[in-house]
Structure 1
Amino acid sequence: MGSNQLQGRWYFGWNIVAACSILTLITVGTRLGIGPFVKPILDDLGMDRTELSVIIAIGMLVYGLGMPLAGRLLDSLGTRNVLLIGVGLVVLSIIWTYFSHDMLSFALAYGVLLSLGLSFTSPVTVTPVVSRWFTKQRGKALFYLSTGSMAGIAIMTPIFTLLIDLVGWRNTLLLLAVIFIVIAVPSAIFIIRDEVPEGGDALSGKSGGSSSNKGQEPRILSSWTEALKTRPFWQVAFGLFVCGFSMNLLGSHGVPMLTDHHFSNVTASFGVGIIGIVAMVSTVFLGSVSDRIPRRSMLSLIYFIRGLGFLGLVLVMTPWQLYLVATIGGLVWAGSAALSSAILGDVYGVRWVGILYGWAYFIHQIGGAMGSFLGGWSYEQFGTHLVSYSITTFLLVLASVVSFQIPSQLHLPKQQDLPLKATL
């Protein structure tokens, strides 16, 4: 059914959100679900935690570097082709990883090529198309898109744990390749489309809420590089840096940390999974209010409570404490990426969301690489996970303060007015 036919009760953009959320689920679930693989890979390939942490960190950097490249290719190739290229790279890398039996081959296949492929199927690739399809309900749509990330944590981590116990880590990756082909390819070909009907989500007949996040139309920059000279971009980027630091620390070392604290593999995986399960539910509520209250206030609150949750995770001693902390943390686990991309669209306009979000997410991945490395290195150096998790708590509280100061509109020097007006 054409998008123009879905004007009354249903808007085709929600189909795109659903498809992109599923793609995000398997992509982010794969990237952040490495925890269950850590000990089997260490045993199989004979590496120590520092060596594997370096490979994971390299992968995070490649994942980040691929995102601005994907954002740039969206203009010339379109969303569909970028996604299909990404799926091809993911499948090729998994086959290579399956046959890897030394550290160098594993690092190139799993650390480099897989990360590059996942960057092409990441939220950076699908966020611009969702942003174009939604104006009045952009915050809600991007929040719903972020449920894919939360579902990835909630679903993929326990599934990986179960499959690794049943068939081993190599065969688990092969099954993952099949999932990518079966889900991503039809979604890219038949559902996701860049052409937006005239009027966008106004066709759905919904007003979209109050105007707390609706200032005047963003001033169009003549080049995306001009945004790098402004404060809002770096405030958003710092928050995403800390987001990547914290999420990848948990994704890479959360399950091993909990098993080191004498929790069973099943309890540890379920504890981490609860964060994503609760986040999926809370995202529905957060999405419903995201277009009604200032985005910076919500983003600040998310970072603050998440910081307290990280400190709680490393201090829990019993399963019920773990589940309680995971539940509280899950309430605010979602939304930082969605709010960040929405803020970039509000401040700089939809035209530059892809490339700006790509570079901001690269900074996210620098944080991810540092968090992944710190988790393994600090444990071997100090014999405790308290160091890395305490640092994460401090950074999240700092990100909360910085995010609260993000302006709602872009204020440029007067001398830039003329060239800016000339581009309108």
Structure 2
Amino acid sequence: MNEKKHLYFGWYIVIAASSIVLLTTGIRMGIGPFVNPIMNDLRLSRTELSIIISVGMILYGVGMPLAGILLKSFNTRIVLLLGMTIVCISIVWTVNSKGMLSFLLSFGGLLSIGLSFLSSITLSPIISKWFVRQRGKALFYLTTGSMAGIAIITPVETWLNSLVGWQNTLLLFGGILICLVFPSAIFIMREDVPEKADNPGDSGDKIKHSPPLDLTLKDALKTQTYWKIVFALFACGFGMNLLGSHGVPMLMDHHFAPMTASFGVGMIGIVAIFGTLFLGQLADRFPRKNILFLVFFVRGLGFFGLVLSSSAWQLFLVSAIGGLAWAGSVAMSTAILSDLYGIRLLGILNGFAYFVGHQIGAAVGSFLGGWGIEVFGTHLFSFSAAGILALLASLASLTIPQSISFSKPVKIGENHNITTGE
């Protein structure tokens, strides 16, 4: 009886992880308000800055599987503290950069690696360990941190830029990061998960199809389902980072005031916070692929709506409607991977999928956002591409199976064998 009166410790991990992701996502995806000040201070063209951002996206992705490997060798606490240290060093280097090369190495390179160690790739496995029955909900709440990062950090950055400049804004965020990550890593990120995690009664709500215990990375890479997840993450990375890098400049080019543009983008994240809380309640009640379809379908229509908005009320209406189901692609993709391939390989599989899919898409989207406006003189090219990719990802999501089999019998328990072949 006493245990029921206490909040399950796994939720403290979710709260801490969501807070970390809120800040790091805001720093990574909130580059939009920094674009014009950085171009002016460092005398960079939009294409040059887009190249730096794209390189950063790729290196952010490179850090993902590396974080997964480190998680297997060490633990969540070590990876978080290492990421915090790298980010702080890179921020100091970034604010003292005087040219394109220095900015590329510091902001595009070192900062991206550090932030990848503080991303959902590092935090998803420990949450998946602590949650079985409510895994979808817990991972959706982690996504809420990402949406809050876009919603809160983007307008805050715009405000702080005008107040203290982009360099001091980054330094301030570095200080906040230390105050958040250090105590979370030391006191909250515990690996001593209780038996059966949040499903002690073994009520049958847990995953019905256990993956083989000796499943390898090579086995997973041979399945079509894994590459469908990779494609979905490519569409996610392309669109979300296009929005984060060029959403505010695009709206300003369409004659919206800077704060209106920032709040237009930020409103997507604000509404998405409540959207993820609602979808999180459904994540363990309905097939995950159906929720993934809904997220990508709404997001695809949203990109067309954003680039075609011509007045403030249209912008805010599109942002509000789109935000209702904007988030959750990473949460559902992670949940599907953990359901189908198991938690043991989740860090590496998620990290590799994030790198090959999400971050390559992020690099392409970030580059095309700057290149497209300079070559074609319009943002319609890049934002329409984001919308089309999201709609294709929604269709691919519907074809994801509930379980996967493999090409040979694999013993997974005393009385269980799975004969496979996807």
| TM-score (normalised: structure 1) | 0.95
1:95 to 89, 92, 95: 92
Q: Are 1:107 and 2:104 matched, yes or no?
A: yes
1:325 to 318, 325, 329: 318
Equivalent residues of 2:212, 2:411 under 8 A apart: no
Match of 2:260 in 1: 267
Q: Does the CA-based 8 Å contact 2:209-2:340 persist in structure 1?
A: no
For residue 23 of structure 1, what is the amino acid of its counterpart? Answer: I
Aligned match of 1:357: 350
Following the alignment from structure 2 to structure 1, what is the Cα–Cα distance between the partners of residues 25 and 85?
17
What is the aligned partner in structure 2 of residue 417 from structure 1? Answer: 409
Q: Which residue of 1 aligns with 2:420?
A: none
Partner of 1:175: 172
TM-score calculated relative to the size of structure 2: 0.95
**Count of residues in Structure 1 that have an aligned counterpart in Structure 2:** 415
Tell me which amino acid in the other structure corresponds to 1:133: W
Give the structure 2 partner of residue 253 of structure 1. 246
2:374 to 380, 385, 404: 380
3-state secondary structure, aligned to 1:201: coil
Bigger shift: residues 382-391 or 218-227: 218-227
Cα distance, 1:101 vs structure 2? 0.9
The answer to whether structure 1 residue 225 and structure 2 residue 218 are counterparts is: yes
Offset of residue 215 of structure 1: 3.0
The letter of the residue matching 1:258 is: L
Match of 1:391 in 2: 385
CA separation in 2, counterparts of 1:103 and 1:334?
33
- Give the unaligned 5+ runs of structure 1: none
Q: Is the 8 A contact 1:220 1:348 kept in 2?
A: no
Once the two structures are TM-superposed, the CA of residue 217 in structure 1 deviates from its matched residue by: 1.9
Is the contact made by 1:222 and 1:420 (CA closer than 8 Å) also made in structure 2? Answer: no
The residue identity in structure 1 corresponding to 2:390 is: L
Cα distance in 2 for partners of 1:380, 1:288 equals 44
Offset at residue 419 of structure 1 (A): 7.2
Q: Cα distance, 1:222 vs. partner?
A: 3.3
The aligned residue for residue 60 of structure 1 is 57
Shift of 1:220: 2.9
Give 1:380 deviation, angstroms: 0.2
Structure 1 counterpart of 2:124: 127
* Paired residue type of 1:417: P
More helix by share: 1
**Paired residue secondary structure (2:345):** helix
Once the two structures are superposed, residues 65-107 of structure 1 have per-residue CA deviations (whole angstroms, 9 ceiling, x without a partner) of: 0000001100111000000000000000000011101110000
Deviation by residue 1:96-146 (Cα, 9 ceiling, x = unmatched) = 011101110000000000000000000000000000000000001000111
| Percentage of identical aligned residues | 57
1:149 equivalent in alignment to 2:141: no
Aligned equivalents of 1:206, 1:396: Cα separation in 2: 37
Query: Do residues 316 (structure 1) and 309 (structure 2) align?
Result: yes
2:23 is the alignment partner of 1:26:
yes
Q: How far apart in 1 are the matches of 2:110 and 2:4? A: 42
Q: For 1:133-176, what per-residue CA distance to the aligned partner results, in whole angstroms no more than 9, with x for missing partners? A: 00000001000111000000000001100000000011111101
* SS of corresponding position for 1:411: coil
User: C-alpha distance in 1, partners of 2:12/2:290?
Assistant: 29
SS at match of 1:350: coil
Whole-Å separation in 2 of the counterparts to 1:152 and 1:418: 43
Query: For residue 345 of structure 1, what is the aligned residue in structure 2?
Result: 338
1:282 to 271, 275, 286: 275
1:412 Cα deviation after fit: 1.4
> What residue is the counterpart of 1:162 in the other structure?
159
- Contact persistence 2:132–2:207 (CA under 8 A): no
